[in-house]
Amino acid sequence: MEVKRNQLSAWLYLLPTIILMAIFTVYPLIRSFFMAFAENYNYMTDTWSSIGINNFRIILGEGSEFLQYLKTTCLIVIISVPISVVLSLLIAVGLNSIKKLTKLYQTIFFMPYVTNSIAIGMVFSVMFAGDKSIVNYVLELLGIGGQNWLGGVSTYGNHASYVSQMTVLLIYIVWHSLPFKILVLLSGLQGIDKQYYQAAQIDSASKFTVLTKITVPLLSPQIAFLTTTSFIGAFKEYSSVIGLFGAKEGATGGHYDMRTIVGYIYASLTDLNVGEACAGAVVLFVIIMVFTLLKNFISRKQIHY
Amino acid sequence: MDIKIVHLTKVFADKDQAEVRAVDDLDIVIPSGKLIGLLGPSGCGKSTTLYMIAGLLSPTDGQIYFGDDDVTKLSPEKRGIGLVFQNYALYPHMTVKQNILFPLQNLKVPKVEALERAQKVADLVDIGSLMDRKPRQLSGGQQQRVAIARALVKEPDVLLLDEPLSNLDARLRLQTREEIKRIQRETGITTVFVTHDQEEAMSISDEIVVMKLGVVQQQGKPQDVYNNPVNKFVAKFLGTPPINMFNAEIVDGKVMIGEEAIAEVPFENQEVEVGIRPEGFEVVDGADSGAFSFVVEQIEFIGRDKSIVARHPNCQTASFRFIIDADIQGVEVGKTIRANVKPNKRYIFHKVTEKNMELSSPEELEVVEQVEELGE
Ligand SMILES: Nc1ncnc2c1ncn2[C@@H]1O[C@H](COP(=O)(O)OP(=O)(O)OP(=O)(O)O)[C@@H](O)[C@H]1O
Ligand SMILES: [Mg+2]
């Protein structure tokens, strides 16, 4: 009797959240899944002609730009995730070994996290755009030579290549994603018992051995967490593209060089191609799910305790 | 290889500049191939001393010699030591085998040889069949043996153990301390063993070093230190049940506890403290001949012996405890009985310096007394 009453009140407390989630998360999820298979869906009248896989045929078929966007997204994922994880690990280890001014450095490294991504994007475009941009200036000084990174008229030609654009975008994404990772890894590092390091010192381990054989394995839960979340995050990359390139989603208007899957979904919705947008969303969902399952499968063998 | 520690001092300065002298002017010699127990109450600087020997802490002052080499400034990995941490510090993500192999890999020992040595040392500590387990799959005692194996596998000149038994239950503790003794004897490694458990230190050490507040009180064979404590602290620290302390007075060469003379000593008249070991009371059957009288409060049979709890007005604690043969008759609760005090089981401590008067030269007692007076 008592238990039942407790359960009832528990459900009552949860009710507001459940209702909101049902309306804004669960229902749209199911609905969009359904709409991905609805052919000739009419947004205004909420009607469709039949159920089938026509939407997928359109976006995955010949002449569709979707595959190009998928490629861009996958490139972002494959390159930015490993780089940002490794880089944040090195920075976190470095920060952790600093004895003085640790708090100050931590604050500095955490700043990108609290800064608006559109604002950062604008700063980046100033840093990279045009002849006189600071990046090109430094590259010239180093004798490497500048590039047309973000398009526009410049002495390096009036066209920014896919690779240059991708480079800037990746730098932006990695840089923007570092602080959170560093924070997680730092707290992980501070939780590692100092005695392991003393033991390693007694055992004559080199700095490199300590990093690879002690620190990384002991951080493996944090690293696994960060890898999963940033895989998912990178597949959903969108705001960085807007921050850097604006609505053009690329250096040159009309080409959408840097458009990602989420960018495509937004664009299709704007064009009222709801069926295609939903099909895109389903494809993204499947990809992320496959990756997550794969990752879980691997990390079951990799996380040590 | 001897370890010689000369004037070793470690001062920790914390944030508000308050200084802690964790180890103060420590002078000890650890003879080659012996097992030394570093003994003292919590916070007396045992771990600090051990870590300085290991090289994990750098001394504020003083030197450490391994044989003839001054190793004071040498980093830990160059000292050729094995260290077993208080909580073992086994790498949790490595198997037992990987844990034991780790020091050898760092020393670039060829793989085949390394595996051989690992297996040999694992067999020595009796964990040879657990090589593929992770530390968390082991019992406390097994973990501790893995830690010892990891410390021993590089064949160090010195083995350091920091309270290695403190995480074990009483039975396992007894068993593992025998094992440590056996391993030490078999390998002949100079070993320093830190503990705050006097019984543990006394039972396995060739010599013990008793510390208090960073200062060495006494070093010697366990039995010698137990039988001839140089001061009240050492006397009180060693032995279970602990020594019984009485307020006493020397009058005309007689040590008087209350009205009763329990011993004769060649000292001037003064107030003193007398310590009597629990086994130092000689109760005669019939119990009315003897120098010292007290009231029996409680009697406990502990197998071969009887443990008697008694009361005496001059005792520094509310009651005191001593042990007599279980066969002795006539000791009953509430009765006043008499006993003689065995001369080698009672110590006379100076009231001010707390030194054992029979082991100190008159100067030792006097000089300190004068300093004390000047200080006032
Ligand atoms: N890093 C440090 N900073 C400041 N004081 C310290 C530090 N390490 C130890 N101390 C102090 O030095 C003294 C000796 O410490 P130590 O750890 O050597 O004691 P211990 O004899 O090993 O005690 P226990 O039996 O409890 O382990 C203590 O008073 C302790 O508070
Ligand atoms: Mg300690």
Residues A16-56 pLDDT 10s: 999 999 999 999 999 999 999 988 888 888 888 888 888 99
Q: Is the pLDDT reported for residue A112 higher than 60?
A: yes
d(CA B161, CA B3): 15
Residues whose beta carbons lie less than 5 angstroms from ion ligand 2: B 47
Split at pLDDT 50, 70, 90, the class of A283 is very high
Domain's final residue, options B214, B233, B252: B233
By DSSP bridging, strand B346-350 and strand B254-257 are unpaired
- The mean pLDDT value for A228-245 works out to 91
Name every chain A residue with its beta carbon within 8 A of the beta carbon of B93. 217-218, 220, 304-305
Predicted pLDDT at B164: 84
Name every chain A residue with its beta carbon within 8 A of the beta carbon of B102. 200, 203, 205, 213
Q: Is the pLDDT reported for residue B235 higher than 70?
A: yes
Split at pLDDT 50, 70, 90, the class of B190 is very high
Q: Is the pLDDT reported for residue A291 higher than 90?
A: no
Tell me how far CA of residue B16 lies from CA of A263, B13, B19, B236, in angstroms.
57, 8, 9, 35
Judge whether B180 and B36 are in contact, CB under 8 Å.
Answer: no
Contact A304 B54 (CB under 8 A): no
B150, B250: one domain: no
Q: What is the DSSP letter of B347?
A: E
- The mean pLDDT value for B44-48 works out to 92
Predicted pLDDT at B375: 42
Contact A204 B106 (CB under 8 A): yes
B164, B249: one domain: no
CB atoms within 10 A of CB B4: 16
A205 phi and psi, to 5 degrees? -80, 140
Q: Is the pLDDT reported for residue A303 higher than 70?
A: no
From the CA of B44, the nearest ligand is 1
CATH code for the domain in which residue B125 is found? 3.40.50.300
More confident residue, B174 or A88: A88
Contact B83 A195 (CB under 8 A): no
- Catalogue all structural domains in chain A, each as residue range(s) with its CATH number: 1-52 (no CATH), 65-121+161-302 (1.10.3720.10)
Q: Write out pLDDT tens, residues B251-288.
A: 998 999 988 888 888 888 999 999 999 999 988 766 56
Closest chain B CA to residue A204: B77
What is the percentage of chain A residues whose pLDDT exceeds 70? 98
CB atoms within 10 A of CB A84: 25
Predicted pLDDT at A185: 94
Could you give the number of structural domains in chain B?
A: 2
What is the percentage of chain B residues whose pLDDT exceeds 70? 96
B43, B187: one domain: yes
Out of A97-101, B14-18, B22-26, B166-170, the most confident range is: B22-26
d(CA B119, CA A27): 62
Predicted pLDDT at A169: 93
B227, B305: one domain: no
B128, B167: one domain: yes
Q: Write out pLDDT tens, residues B134-151.
A: 999 998 888 988 998 999
Judge whether A6 and A249 are in contact, CB under 8 Å.
Answer: no
What is the percentage of chain B residues whose pLDDT exceeds 90? 60
Residue written as tokens 């040498």? B74
Range of the domain at B254: 241-375
CB-defined site of ligand 1, < 6 Å: B 12, 14, 20, 22, 40, 42-48, 196
Q: What is the DSSP letter of A206?
A: -
Contact B56 A195 (CB under 8 A): no
Note which residues in 56-75 of chain B have CB less than 8 A from chain A: 56, 75
Q: Write out pLDDT tens, residues A118-153.
A: 888 888 888 888 777 888 888 888 888 888 888 877
Q: Which of B11, B21, B44, B50 to mutate to test the pocket of ligand 1 (most atoms within 8 A of CB)?
A: B44
B152, B186: one domain: yes
pTM: 0.80
Domain's final residue, options B233, B264, B285: B233
B102, B216: one domain: yes
